Amino acid sequence: MGKAVEVEIANKIAVFLKMIRTNNPFQEEFFQAVKEVITSVMPFALENSKYVKYKVLERMVEPDRIVIFRVSWQDDNGEVQVNRAWRVQFNNSIGPYKGGMRFHPSVNLSILKFLGFEQCFKNSLTGLPLGGAKGGSNFDPKHRSDAEVMRFCHALMIELHRHIGENTDVPAGDIGVGGREIGYMFGQYKRIVNKFTGTITGKGVDFGGSLIRKEATGYGAVYFAENVLNFRGDSLKGKTIVVSGSGNVAIYVTEKALNLGAQVLTLSDSSGYIYDREGFNEEKIAAVKEIKEIKRARIGEYVKIYPKAEFHPNKRPWEVAADIAIPSATQNELDEEDAKKLIANGVQLVCEAANMPVTLGAIELFNTAKVIFNPGKAANAGGVAVSGFEQSQNSLRMTWSAEEVEDRLKNIMKDIHDTCVKFGYNKKKSDIVNYVDGANIGGFVKIANAMTTYGVV
Ligand code: NDP
């Protein structure tokens, strides 16, 4: 590519991003997600006149619709509580909307738009017919009783049910929304519409849920990392890993990493991180599950059970030396300062199991240092893939075995890896795969082709 063409593309990206800023004020997370995608996709899209003519990129950054609603409910003291909830239906060009619900006090429109936008590319990468969406509320389940969580979920569904359906929009879990919340939401949905359908995924296995759904995002991310290493003639065996978070994703990242012969040294939550030099074995992972999922307590409790481990309050685990980092908690939890520490300690691979946990500045530092970087939209797509399997099983009225689901998951993660290589490996430019370009372009193509086929809609 000549210098003049490079300058022209850079100008087009700058104009596009200026438009995003103007049209979406105060939406930093959304801007960050769009910037990453547009930087990869614009050069590719400009080479194809139909994408330009049909203004595919301009349409893709505008959600199909956003529903915003009030959720009123009563707490255990009889006091009325009011929360806000959203459903961002981003793009259904290749299938019904699909994406999780997040309950966390930090939830706002910018965060849900970034997640919904990312979800479109991720879902496309799975190869399944799934559109992209995301939703959630600023409700915080952490300090609430089971009865309060139930009343909130039931109240939320009184409005949400109008906008979802097995062929329209299929919500699932995310931060703050696990089996308990899904159960309450699905129970209320089923009661209102008087139908038992696969409209929500992540259900309990006794009532329509898929085996391996709970494990899928974490397992999938580790399979993705294994594919990345295999592509370079290496493997996870014997590697050390730093993981953040101790929720659904982090726990199953740890379990599968152990299974493939690696050693996870850290886990965390919003109160700090734990460092276990000996690594987490099955018994220790069970203890973390008990602390976080059953007792719903803080991660520091771990050192009361395993006093040789350390608890570092209010700190993030990126200061611990390891071969691989797998951020698995939340967006922007690994910044430039953290990246410098990881690079200085010789990290080789950073694999996003959470959504956008690494800042753009940190990604740049990893690229410069030739540390392989895997974006979440590729690496954590295993969760939504198995949600897609759950929808299929519900439609077929069948239950696949755990082995069958895991085999399918493994194959999808391999296919996503191959897609990233296809669109992100340019030997003339670099001897390492650019997984960001690969995932963005690989996810874009299917949606863009569908959108141009539909005409101007
Ligand atoms: P969980 O709610 O199960 O766990 C989230 C974990 O992250 C907890 O340990 C939580 O700590 C920590 N955390 C949340 N917010 C913050 C914060 N602001 N600062 C520090 N730590 C924080 O969520 P999941 O494990 O399901 O999700 C984790 C990530 O993976 C998210 O980015 C999600 O979008 C992404 N993801 C999840 C999928 C799934 O299938 N669940 C699918 C694809 C992506 P604490 O307990 O203190 O709040």
**Cβ atoms within 10 A of the Cβ of 428, count?**
4
Domain boundary among 323, 352, 374: 374
Same domain? For 55 and 71 the reply is: no
Determine the atom of ligand 1 nearest the C-alpha atom of 329. 7
CA distances from 110 to 26, 50, 105 (A): 8, 30, 13
Identify which of 122, 248, 267 to mutate to test ligand 1's pocket (most ligand atoms within 8 A of the CB): 248
Q: Is residue 205 part of a domain?
A: no
Annotated active-site residue in 98, 122, 134, 377: 134
Whether residue 140 is found in the same domain as residue 174: yes
Same-domain check for residues 181 and 253:
no
367 shares a domain with 240: yes
H-helix or E-strand containing 452?
helix 435-454
Do residues 233 and 362 share a domain?
Answer: yes
Instruction: Please answer whether residues 71 and 153 qualify as being in contact, where contact means their C-beta atoms are separated by less than 8 angstroms.
Output: no
CA separation (Å) from 11 to 30, 49, 361? 21, 18, 20
Neighbour-count burial of 455, counting CB atoms closer than 10 A to its CB (0-12 exposed, 13-18 middle, 19+ buried): exposed
Measured in Å, residue 64 CA sits from the centre of ligand 1 at: 26
Q: Which domain holds residue 33?
A: 3-60
Among protein residues, the one whose CA lies closest to atom 19 of ligand 1: 270
Domain boundary residue, one of 342, 374, 406: 374
Query: What is the rounded CA–CA span in Å between residue 137 and residue 106?
Result: 9
C-beta of residue 186 within 8 angstroms of C-beta of residue 200: yes
Residue among 175, 222, 352, 413 whose CB has most ligand 1 atoms within 8 A, to mutate: 175
pTM of the model: 0.96
Judgement on whether residues 22 and 99 belong to the same structural domain of the protein:
no
323-348 residue pLDDT tens? 999 999 999 999 999 999 999 999 99
What residues contact 243, with CB distance under 8 A and at least 6 apart?
Answer: 250, 253, 254, 257, 264, 266, 267, 268, 317, 325, 326, 327, 328, 353
Q: Is 174 in the pocket of ligand 1 (CB under 6 A)?
A: yes
Residue 264 within any structural domain of the chain: yes
Which pLDDT score is estimated for 47?
93
pLDDT at 427: 83
Q: Is 116 in the pocket of ligand 1 (CB under 6 A)?
A: no
Give the residue from 168, 196, 224 where a domain finishes.
196
The tens-digit pLDDT sequence of the chain (457 residues) is 688 889 999 999 999 999 999 999 999 999 999 999 999 999 999 999 999 999 999 999 999 999 999 999 999 999 999 999 999 999 999 999 999 999 999 999 999 999 999 999 999 999 999 999 999 999 999 989 999 999 999 999 999 999 999 999 999 999 999 999 999 999 999 999 999 999 999 999 999 999 999 999 999 999 999 999 999 999 999 999 999 999 999 999 999 999 999 999 999 999 999 999 999 999 999 999 999 999 999 999 999 999 999 999 999 999 999 999 999 999 999 999 999 999 999 999 999 999 999 999 999 999 999 999 999 999 999 999 999 999 999 999 999 999 999 999 999 999 999 999 999 998 888 889 999 999 999 999 999 999 999 999 8
Report the number of distinct structural domains present in the chain.
3
Ligand 1 mean position, distance from CA 97 (Å): 22
Any ligand 1 atom below 6 A from CB of 355: yes
247 lines ligand 1 (CB under 6 A): yes
**Residue 412 within a domain:** no
* Inside any domain, residue 329: yes
Q: Is residue 438 part of a domain?
A: no
Distance 371 CA to ligand 1 centre (A): 24
Q: How many CB atoms lie within 10 A of CB 361?
A: 11
Pair (340, 365) in one structural domain: yes
- Give residue 265's identity as a one-letter amino acid code: L
CATH of the domain at 143: 3.40.50.10860
Distance from C-alpha of 235 to C-alpha of 285, rounded to nearest angstrom: 22
Active-site residue 53, yes or no? no
The protein residue whose alpha carbon is closest to atom 28 in ligand 1 is 329
Domain presence at residue 395: no
Environment class of 75 (CB within 10 Å of its CB; exposed 0-12, middle 13-18, buried 19+): middle
Measured CA to CA, the distance from residue 82 to residue 382 in angstroms comes to 34
Residue 202 lies in a domain: no
Are 227 and 358 contained in the same domain? Answer: yes
CB atoms within 10 A of CB 364: 13
pLDDT of residue 3: 85
pLDDT in tens, 24-68: 999 999 999 999 999 999 999 999 999 999 999 999 999 999 999
Q: What is the helix (H) or strand (E) element at residue 159, kind and residue range?
A: helix 146-160
Beta strands in 93-228 (DSSP E): 97-103, 132-137, 169-172
| CA of residue 39 to ligand 1 center, whole Å | 27
Q: Which atom of ligand 1 is nearest to the CA of 381?
A: 43
Is position 441 within any domain? no
Are 218 and 341 in the same domain?
yes
Is 102 found in the same domain as 225? no
Check whether residue 339 and residue 222 sit in a common domain.
yes
Tell me the CA–centroid distance for residue 411 and ligand 1, in Å: 25
CATH code for position 325: 3.40.50.720
Question: Atom 39 in ligand 1: which residue has the minimum CA distance?
Answer: 174
Report which residue type is found at 267. Answer: L
Do 282 and 370 lie in one domain? The reply is yes
